[in-house]
């Protein structure tokens, strides 16, 4: 029976979740070791059964890692904050308009005014 033939609330095997998400089974098993929130039921013979909330979490982790560019550590922190009732996603940093820095020519003497300009731009960016 394919995953699509099952009711929405039915448990899914690891192969069905793998097929549904396009993730290899070994990645799903690895994520179980890295994300304590991901705990599918394990029956006799260590057979995994994913609840609908487990499948949703797998899809969320996949999106954060593979689409949004988070690291595993970043996703761990984010999920921990969410579990404690914190903000769902971190607020994006405000955009800072930084002009292009002067590019030094190799072999030329150091232009202190260019270095001061870069230092001042960095200081303004940190203040903003």
Chain segment 79-104, per-residue pLDDT in tens: 988 888 866 555 555 555 655 655 66
More confident residue, 22 or 117: 22
State the fold for domain 3-83: Multidrug-efflux Transporter Regulator; Chain: A; Domain 2 (1.10.1660)
To the nearest 10°, report the CA torsion of 16, 19, 23, 28: 10
Question: Which two tokens mark 35?
Answer: 């994300």
- In the three-class reduction of DSSP (H, G, I as helix; E, B as strand; rest coil), residue 10 is classed as coil
CB-side exposure of 5: number of CA atoms within 13 Å?
2
CA 122 to chain centre: 28
Cβ–Cβ contacts within 10 Å for residue 58, how many? 24
What is this structure's pTM? 0.62
Chain segment 23-62, per-residue pLDDT in tens: 999 999 999 999 999 999 988 888 999 999 999 999 999 9
Domain coordinates in residue numbering, the chain:
3-83, 93-128
Residue with structure tokens 């970043």? 74
């Amino acid at each position: 029976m394919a995953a699509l033939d099952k009711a929405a609330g039915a448990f899914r095997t690891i192969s069905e979740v793998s097929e549904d998400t396009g993730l290899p089974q070994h990645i799903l098993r690895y994520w179980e070791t890295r994300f304590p929130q991901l705990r599918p039921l394990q029956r006799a013979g260590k057979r995994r059964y994913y609840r609908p909330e487990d499948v949703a979490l797998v899809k969320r982790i996949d999106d954060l890692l593979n689409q949004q560019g988070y690291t595993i550590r970043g996703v761990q922190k984010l999920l921990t904050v969410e579990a404690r009732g914190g903000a769902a996603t971190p607020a994006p940093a405000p955009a800072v308009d930084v002009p292009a820095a002067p590019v030094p020519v190799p072999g030329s003497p150091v232009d202190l005014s260019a270095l001061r300009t870069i230092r001042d731009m960095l200081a303004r960016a940190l203040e903003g």
